[in-house]
Amino acid sequence: MTTTDIRLTNSLAEPRTLFIEPWAEEIVLDASASIVVKQDTVEDGRIELEIMDEGYILYGNILTKLRIYRDDELIWESYDAPPV
């Protein structure tokens, strides 16, 4: 298993939303706020980050375990399978 940390900072002056797919979850990033995405992955488990005007989309899959932290506090954790 491989672990990767990704820091995402909203450098804009207004809040932006992080959409987490395929789990259909959302996290609001306040202006200048940062989060850390920790990814535990096995074979073929990857994540992708897309940047848009409205915010960010984080794409994972069921082979990827994601945990999102704000100031060392766990604020979101993926579960085994996304909703149907």
Q: Is residue 83 part of a domain?
A: no
Q: Is residue 41 part of a domain?
A: yes
pTM of the model: 0.85
Q: Is residue 12 part of a domain?
A: yes
The residues near 72 (Cβ < 8 Å, ≥ 6 apart) are: none
Is the preceding peptide bond at 22 cis, omega within 30 degrees of 0?
yes
Find the domain containing 53 and state its range.
2-77
Average pLDDT in the chain: 88
Which segment, 42-46, 50-54, 64-68, 72-76, is predicted with the most confidence on average? 72-76
Are 27 and 18 in contact, with CB atoms under 8 Å apart?
Answer: yes
- CA pair distance 10, 33, nearest whole angstrom: 6
pLDDT tens digits, 38-63: 988 766 667 899 999 889 999 988 77
Are 40 and 1 in contact, with CB atoms under 8 Å apart?
Answer: yes
The count of structural domains within the chain is: 1
Q: In which band, very low, low, confident or very high, does the pLDDT at 65 lie, cut at 50, 70 and 90?
A: confident
Is 29 or 41 the better-scoring residue by pLDDT? 29
